[in-house]
Structure 1
């Protein structure tokens, strides 16, 4: 009866309704957080096994990634109330969800289009059948079962077993990638293996002169809830027969540890508190049956003995992906009495091991974690348009003439709410708001640190939240604005790095100082109020309704020659524009940051060696369908033929292109790569000023220059005022690079003209801005030319 009920899809859906309904609700009102990675397991607690290796590698490649885990140590265990409440939310808002075993809760869900569900199965190789490969066998899936079928990616240990896992998961072969098994990286690190061997043997009381035999079987039964152990061997007698030169340890399968019989005296119980990798490192001989432990242990090229008293029955009820003989790289024994002789005489057959490892472990080389993180977990998702293109609902509102009405209603609502919050007392607090990122930008982080160094009593709050697309997500964003209003009302200083509805359209206390710290150095292409009504600018009527760029008391720019441009862009008096370079300048000149960035890059691309690196970073086009006039694949091929390695970094609002020939350095920002690259190529991006600060010879590649002047225009004479070599074709760029047309002297002149630094080298850009904000926070009752909404 239970099996028949399980086969009814409606009943299966009802079973998981407490999770699927909140998941759908959160999906409607909250955006996906692009740097949130969620790890889930109902088989173990914590970041162990594959999860531990992946988490460490994620933090190495992208230190600011948000890694979250929800675990319980068995399907039958109850989930805590806290996890019950937060699990649907985290599933709905995570960019990547990682599993390492069967996880029934996710299979009924219709995942969001931008969510990646990644299965990094806890085992290497393909031994006993799992998932849909067990259809028709005892404990196999019911007809029409949806288990495993919604994986967007799955990783395996060898090219030759992709078809096996495609069958097991019921997904196309293209979703299976032979990138390796993260926990296998351990076995390629000889110092780590040696240290683990010594540590575990000391813990188990096994002297170095004594050989250790470890029995690590799989479970019997249909799955985790019905698992039991084969206990036909008398391990006490086996230990006695081996003599004093040997010790025997038993590692029970995690599914069978509860209620297991005590082991005989003299036999070590290694079922708990020892990582499986570490135990295998300590073993001289592995005894197993049908466990995938044989694949990892084979990497150590040590003897294996197979104890299979129930081989015929197991093959009939569970079955294997290959004939059992293909897995038997050591002696096979069927009775307990045969174990001791087989263990003491077991040898390694090199030819058999070589074939076995080639068939089942071909992708294991010590770099599995790095590949999986770089190519799956941190790889940017596919996107055909920039993130900020209008949703269909927003375009419908505009066609109906409702966008201006909506803006005016929103402004009135904001005025009312901000007026109510003026009763809150302000304190010595600096709030920084950005809608350019979903995580704190580097300028805000460096400025926060400088403020805390100079004035530990100063409270600093950073709020990073991009405006989501669509109507319903914007409703959720409206509630987030209340949080921003609260922090602004209780602050003395507000810092923004772009247009902020709260900064410009809300009502503020006279004691609040609002600082516009625009997110770019220099003044190259026109922006803000300078391009209202132009093809790449805003509708002037909407800008007026949203009070675009009003209320600034201080505007930050990086050089004296940029002050008129910033005054025009923000519609303010030039006297309010203060010359103070962005905090990122400190990092671009920091030799320690440079060394760290180069170390991370070398680990990402060790094959590049001394190959000169070209960083290509074009600007962002806001017009729909404008695209990029340079094909990055064509550029990569052309420069590759000339002996250069190209790293392509598009604007953060545009997804990186996906092509086998492209390198995008996932986990590293454009500023990180400024500290690595030998040459910089752009069209109209203000990143050219950052490259100058970093001292990188730079080139301008601008095939659409005439069109761009019409749609956007510049604050300077382009390219003459930059003093950099310009070409309008990829072939021309190759010629310029070969000729060494860009020189260090050019970038020095460019940096001096557009990024003014303090005469005192000991005072960094972040410290100069911190002093300015501390002074602003300490002053009282300044008069305002600001108009109240």
Structure 2
């Protein structure tokens, strides 16, 4: 019955509703407080262990922080009514949530965009398997379990164990960083170690010259609810055999402490001591499969492994490495051998060094500082989405929110209504017409304008209709957009070719005539960050159910991309057979390559912004993020580059605006593409504008303080660390140094462009030439007949 209750998803769902239901409501009507930090535990009360170190360092660095804690001594303890009431509010409004153990109530909850769920796991190293690593073992997670999977940040004790924790928590490796374990910082302070050792030994009554033996086993059983102690050794008899000069203290795992039998009178109970303090007071540690070996190894003192049930434990729980990898001291399987092992135990220095290198290479006394700085206080500049210009369909082109069932039902209803309205329009005669549709831009994009010019130059009789309008906010304005959608239906029903540059409902949802050719001319060059079907289910991707209901990216006859190496990525993103993906760069490339047009653009910019004349100019163009942030301190970037003799112009995505103050130049109303005409340096994080910069042979630098997090939420088609045309740095200072050294070069950009933007025929740029637009026009002309 206990196993049935544990594995029943319905019962787990019911138990979660007192918190989950109000949380889902509150997350839609409240804002996140970036200065609010919520600490949660169902394993202990108060800020103990890692949480204490992190809380103290956080308040030292940020005294104004709002710190809240909700604790229970165990999973089985009843949650106070006060906590049931306040927990949903705290979860919905906290910018950072910190846990240090299994915390089941949070796993079904979608973490808000812009919030962080940090797991500062209570143990160092990687010994016995936990979480999803135990799938298929007794007590392991049931298939499809959501436990642990929503952690956004996990610090661990070494580079070598990152993959183990990623497996255990069912998360991407990029979310796990070797930043250390907070509670181990205390072991790197010799004065603290000496003082604590003296204080604890005095409290326990240990005389000078006596060797203190600590027995600290892990629990037996499948988890906190079924935990029981290990009882195979008679510590009273062992103490008698050791005789004078030894004292023994036993500290059961907190999960098993309540069910442990009473200790013999002359055996000390260490349950009231903080584990760190007890380890510092100890001369020889006896344990079995406990992670305490990692902390105690930092003290370079002897360890004895007492494992009478090794075969059974390995079969039911298993380890991340062969057990021999953890045996840095004597291994005892019979209680009768313990006394002898304790008398002779000593440190095997070579084995200890190898052990520390494998499991503890990120432990150096600065773990807490790194974790607080990089995981709790890394605060990106806030950028506001312009709600007056952008509608949900454009602001969030790849993310579905709200009650998903209602959205899916609404999508299916919209498909039905549009199909009914479209059916009679298909009875109208087909015209020699090309229709271009976009909801990506507020005005007709240059790509459409240049393609239309190439088409009409080739054949003046062809009719080109461009229908460009973004989905507006507000009910009344959406009604107006509905009329615009009806206009799209008419023109698509009577056209021979439909060209789109993003997802279009009229392209993918409707059953078209056989005479219609649908061409996806995606609005970005190259194949950089993943998009479309490649990111379904990821943090920045659509929900799969909604994508299916909207027939996302279905029905394309031709998909255009800018290079041969981009074809597999575009085939994946659009779910299209590779043979339908054609190499034909966007018409905007012709504008970039035209020397006369570029000179005119430069003159126009310098006439409007004369302060740019005679300066070395860097254009910083960060990518558009769905959470409305720029992960860089723009003011600090401007100042750092100024010291290098470089003037910075910041160009945000057109759907966003940010108030960075008078010291930050935003280049007026000129677009990013236009500003490249005056740029000597291009800086970005993940913007596909890097391909335009490469076409112009502009040295490019990549400033990516959140690379691991971005990899987890979006990922890339290319190898971000190897394929890019310039250095990748994590801080403004390192970027300024790289720019000062001119680490990126025009040659790097030229090589990158040659691979990713392949001009038809590879002609030398000349004024007025339009090889890219002409190539697409030729393809369309073949379909017009």
TM-score of the superposed pair, with normalisation by structure 2? 0.52
Aligned to 1:569: none
Whole-Å separation in 1 of the counterparts to 2:256 and 2:27: 38
2:200–2:278 contact (8 Å) kept in structure 1: yes
Structure 1 residue aligned with 2:274 = 275
Distance 1:160 1:346, change over 3 A: same
For residues 279-294 of structure 1, the aligned pairs below 5 Å read 279-294=278-293
* Paired residues for 1:246-645 under 5 Å: 246-272=246-272, 274-380=273-379, 386-387=383-384, 389-390=386-387, 630-631=618-619
Tell me the distance in 1 between the aligned counterparts of 2:69 and 2:50.
Answer: 13
Structure 1 392/306 Cα, relative in aligned 2: closer, same or farther at 3 Å? farther
What are the residue-to-residue correspondences of 1:63-212 with 2, within 5 Å? 63-212=63-212
- Deviation string for 1:234-267 (max 9, x for gaps)? 1112112222211111111101111321111211
Task: Determine if contact 1:7/1:144 at 8 Å carries over to the other structure.
Answer: no
Deviation, 1:82, is: 0.9
* Structure 1 residues 341 and 633: alpha-carbon distance in aligned structure 2, compared to 1, 3 A threshold: farther
Kept in 1, the 8 Å contact 2:287–2:304? The answer is yes
**Contact between 1:157 and 1:364, CA under 8 Å: does it hold in 2?**
yes
3-state SS, counterpart of residue 35 of structure 1: strand
Unmatched segments (≥5 aa) in structure 2: 394-472, 475-616, 651-661, 672-698, 702-735, 742-785
CA RMSD of aligned residues (A): 4.0
Match of 1:57 in 2: 57
CA distance in 2, matches of 1:12, 1:86: 20
- Are the aligned partners of 2:620 and 2:648 in contact in 1 as well (CA < 8 Å)? no
C-alpha distance in structure 1 between counterparts of 2:245 and 2:388, whole Å:
73
Residue of structure 2 in register with 1:537 after alignment: none
The answer to whether the Cα contact below 8 Å between 1:289 and 1:308 also exists between their aligned partners in 2 is yes
Aligned equivalent of 2:767: none
Partners of 1:188 and 1:391 in 2: CA distance: 55
Residues 1:142 and 1:285: Cα distance change in structure 2 (over 3 Å): same
Distance 1:267 1:3, change over 3 A: closer
Residue-by-residue CA offset, 1:427-485 (whole Å, 9 max, x unaligned): xxxxxxxxxxxxxxxxxxxxxxxxxxxxxxxxxxxxxxxxxxx99xxxxxxxxxxxxxx
Q: Distance in 2 between matches of 1:254 and 1:289?
A: 15
Tell me whether 1:657 sits opposite 2:631 in the alignment. yes
Distance in 2 (alpha carbons) for counterparts of 1:98 and 1:32: 15
Shift of residue 90, structure 1, vs aligned partner = 0.4
Give distance in 2, aligned partners of 1:122 and 1:391. Answer: 47
Asked if structure 2 preserves the Cα contact closer than 8 Å seen for 1:380 and 1:655, the reply is no
1:704 aligned onto 2:671:
no
Aligned to 1:605: none
Per-residue deviation at 1:45? 0.7
**Deviation digits for residues 273-296 of structure 1, max 9, x if unmatched?**
x11111100001100000000000
313 and 94 in structure 1: CA distance in 2 versus 1, 3 angstrom threshold:
same
Residues 677-696 of structure 1 aligned to structure 2 (within 5 Å) = none
Q: Are 2:159 and 2:362, in contact at CA under 8 Å, matched by a contact in 1?
A: yes
The CA deviation string for residues 392-422 of structure 1, in whole angstroms up to 9 with x for no partner, is 88899xxxxxxxxxxxxxxxxxxxxxxxxxx
* Closer/same/farther in 2, CA of residues 103 and 311 from structure 1, 3 Å limit: same
Which shifted more, 99-108 or 54-63? 54-63
SS at 1:201 equivalent: helix
Q: Where does the alignment leave 5 or more consecutive residues of structure 1 unmatched? A: 397-469, 472-628, 635-652, 659-663, 686-698, 709-728, 739-789
Query: Secondary structure in 2 aligned to 1:258?
Result: helix
Take 2:388 and 2:349, find their aligned partners in 1: how far apart are those partners? 61
In structure 2, the CA distance between the partners of 1:367 and 1:284, relative to structure 1 (3 Å rule), is: same
Shift of 1:25: 1.3
Residues 236/633 of structure 1: CA separation in 2 closer, same or farther (3 Å cut): farther
Aligned to 1:33: 33
Give CA deviations for 1:655-712 in whole Å, capped at 9, x if unaligned.
Answer: 4535xxxxx69xxx98xx99xx999999899xxxxxxxxxxxxx9785837979xxxx
CA 633–295 in structure 1, closer or farther in 2 if over 3 Å, else same: farther
CA distance in 1, matches of 2:196, 2:116: 34
Q: Does the aligned pair in 2 maintain the 1:26–1:88 contact within 8 Å?
A: yes
Query: Are 2:619 and 2:648, in contact at CA under 8 Å, matched by a contact in 1?
Result: no
Query: In the TM superposition, what whole-angstrom CA distance separates every residue of 1:189-227 from its partner, at most 9, and x where no partner exists?
Result: 111111111110111111232111111110000100110
Aligned CA distance change for structure 1 residues 11 and 261 (closer, same or farther; 3 Å): closer
Superposed CA offset, 1:58-87 (max 9, x none): 122222221111111100001111111000
Aligned length: 450
- TM-score in terms of structure 1 length: 0.52
Any conservation in 1 of the 2:37–2:96 contact (CA below 8 Å)? yes
CA contact (8 A) 2:308 2:334 kept: yes
Q: Is the 8 A contact 1:701 1:730 kept in 2?
A: no
Shift of 1:388: 5.5
- Distance change in 2, residues 1:67/1:392 (3 Å): farther
Q: Work out the CA distance in 1 between the residues paired with 2:203 and 2:59.
A: 30
Which residue of 2 is the match for residue 779 of structure 1?
A: none
- The whole-number CA distance in structure 2 between the counterparts of 1:8 and 1:27 is 27
Q: What's the secondary structure of 2:220's corresponding residue?
A: coil
Counterparts of 2:263 and 2:222, CA distance in 1: 25
Check conservation: 1:239, 1:248, Cα contact below 8 A.
yes
Relative distance call for 1:730 and 1:142 in structure 2 (3 A) is closer
**How has the CA–CA distance of structure 1 residues 701 and 376 changed in structure 2, closer, same or farther, with 3 Å as cutoff?**
closer
